Amino acid sequence: MIKPHGSDELNPLFVYDSAENDKLQKEAESLNSIVVSSATAANAVMMGAGYFNPLTGYMTKADALSVATDLKTTSGLFWPTPVLNLVENADGISVGDRIALKDPNVEGNPVVAVMNVEGIEEFSDEDMAMMTEKVYAPAAGEDHPGVDAFNSQGKVCLSGPIQVLNFSYFQTEFPDTFRTAVEIRNEISERGWKKVVAFQTRNPMHLAHEELCHMAMDRLGCDGLVIHMLLGKLKAGDIPAPVRDAAIRKMVELYFPENSAMVTGYGFDMLYAGPREGVLHALFRQNMGATHFIIGRDHAGVGDHYGAFDAQTIFKEQVPAGSLDIEIFEADHTAYSKKLDKVVMMCEAPDHEKEDFVLLSGTKVREMLGQGMAPPKEFSRPEVAKILIEYYQTLDNK
């Protein structure tokens, strides 16, 4: 199986030994504690689950700035986005302290991790602006949900190793879908898959997405597909994870051969960081055991902040050769061809005009679903559309 990033073995930071976990939970009751941001809690979950291997905790100021500018930590580890614990202030906390990090997303704010504080540093306004520009590359004058979330956490950086005690709300709210990198690696091994392609989604999958996965599997000669959906915080208007989960599971059940696709999810908040997030997505898919990763049009993008294929270009122009072992499957926009009576990559149909494809805007699709109308079968499977119609009708009834 493909090696994880940065080490020979996967080293998740979750404390699996139940006695040790209980001991740390009791210790946490006597520790100074802070309720962290949603992004910080999600970073803990990703480190606990092994997705952020080989990180052992939150980055220092120097590492974060180095990652933003050069895509590597000060020790030379390739990494595309800062992994931080940002707070408004560190009042009452000193270097050398052990502190409890409390979850902002679960009622009662349970402890998600225990941290050894090895550094307390403050980013300047110029530092924050530089990281925002390098990592998110926001278009001037346009709102960017990832930038807003990043800058709302504070500028004080607490760095140091962590021990993760639970997986926040992801394991309890999505017991059939949330899987750690350890669990996915184990299941890939149990299924006997050798070549595995991963597909990232924060949306339900329409026919074009489904066929893109089939194309990738066929062209790469893959044994299996891991559909890996984001289960964390999204921007307003995105479809909730339970609805996406139901729609995707129905699609796999009806339109994929047995033992060819896994439906799984991971606990992270969407960054909407376009190209940089595309690289992060590839990195943690390597950690979960995928050998290939699909990156298509506007991957991890938002609004008009990025070019359609910037998330592919970054691998050629900024990611040094050998930084990752996972391979990228580059995909163009896929759509149903009326001429060929099948879904194709638009770049592979040069004799087509725009009107030769079945193309519907997201706004148009939402309007149709909200009115109880299924999109054409060339755009969406009817069984998937039914689940989405039921969801949109609940919105209308509120």
Averaged pLDDT, 93-102: 98
pLDDT at 338 over 70: yes
Instruction: For residue 280, name the pLDDT band (cuts at 50, 70, 90).
Output: very high
Q: What is the spatial distance between Cα 311 and Cα 143, in angstroms, rounded to a whole number?
A: 20
pLDDT at 335 over 70: yes
Q: Which pLDDT score is estimated for 140?
A: 67
21 is an active site residue:
no
Percent of the chain with pLDDT over 70: 98
User: What pTM was computed for the model?
Assistant: 0.93
Tell me the pLDDT tens digit for each residue of 241-263: 889 999 999 999 999 999 999 99
Which one of the listed residues 11, 116, 203, 249 is annotated catalytic?
Answer: 203
CATH, domain 175-396, list 3.40.50.620, 3.60.15.10, 3.50.50.60, 1.10.287.110: 3.40.50.620
Phi, psi of 35 (to 5 degrees): -85, 115
- The 3-state secondary structure of the chain reads CCCCCCCCCCCCCECCCHHHHHHHHHHHHCCEEEECCHHHHHHHHHHHCCCCCCCCEECCHHHHHHHHHHCECCCCCECCCCCCCEECCCCCCCCCCEEEEECCCCCCCCEEEEEECCEEEECCHHHHHHHHHHHHCCCCCCCCHHHHHHHCCCCEEEEEEEEECCCCCHHHHCCCCECCHHHHHHHHHHHCCCCEEEEEECCCCCHHHHHHHHHHHHHHCCCEEEEEEECCCCCCCCCCHHHHHHHHHHHHHHHCCCCCEEEEEECCCCCCCHHHHHHHHHHHHHHCCCCEEEECCCCCCCCCCCCCCHHHHHHHHCCCCCCCCCEEEECCCEEEECCCCEEEEHHHCCCCCHHHEECCCHHHHHHHHHCCCCCCCCCCCHHHHHHHHHHHHHHHCC
Tell me the pLDDT tens digit for each residue of 116-133: 999 999 999 999 999 999
Q: Domain 18-171's class?
A: alpha beta
Instruction: For residue 307, name the pLDDT band (cuts at 50, 70, 90).
Output: confident
Q: Which tokens is 292 given? A: 């290939």
Q: In what order do the strands lie in the sheet with 357-358?
A: 342-345, 334-337, 357-358
Q: Which pLDDT score is estimated for 181?
A: 98
Percent of the chain with pLDDT over 90: 82
Q: Where in the chain is the domain with CATH 3.40.50.620?
A: 175-396
Instruction: For residue 384, name the pLDDT band (cuts at 50, 70, 90).
Output: very high
Q: Which pLDDT score is estimated for 32?
A: 96
Q: CA torsion sign, 188 to 268 to 362 to 365? A: positive
pLDDT at 237 over 80: no
Question: Distance of CA 294 to CAs 14, 201, 367, Å?
Answer: 28, 10, 29
Which one of the listed residues 202, 249, 297, 366 is annotated catalytic?
Answer: 202
pLDDT at 398 over 60: no
Averaged pLDDT, 369-387: 92
Mean pLDDT of the chain: 93
Q: What is the spatial distance between Cα 10 and Cα 100, in angstroms, rounded to a whole number?
A: 25
pLDDT at 234 over 70: no
Averaged pLDDT, 173-178: 92
Instruction: For residue 360, name the pLDDT band (cuts at 50, 70, 90).
Output: confident
Instruction: For residue 364, name the pLDDT band (cuts at 50, 70, 90).
Output: confident
Query: Whose structure tokens read 């129905």?
Result: 250
Lowest mean pLDDT among 70-74, 84-88, 111-115, 309-313: 309-313
Q: Which pLDDT score is estimated for 105?
A: 95
pLDDT at 328 over 70: yes
Q: What's the longest Cα–Cα distance across the chain?
A: 69
Tell me the pLDDT tens digit for each residue of 53-67: 999 999 999 999 999
Q: Which pLDDT score is estimated for 365?
A: 87
Residues 6+ apart with CB under 8 A from 365: 375, 379, 380
Phi, psi of 351 (to 5 degrees): -90, 5
203 is an active site residue:
yes
Q: What is the spatial distance between Cα 194 and Cα 221, in angstroms, rounded to a whole number?
A: 10
Tell me the pLDDT tens digit for each residue of 128-154: 999 999 999 887 667 898 999 999 999
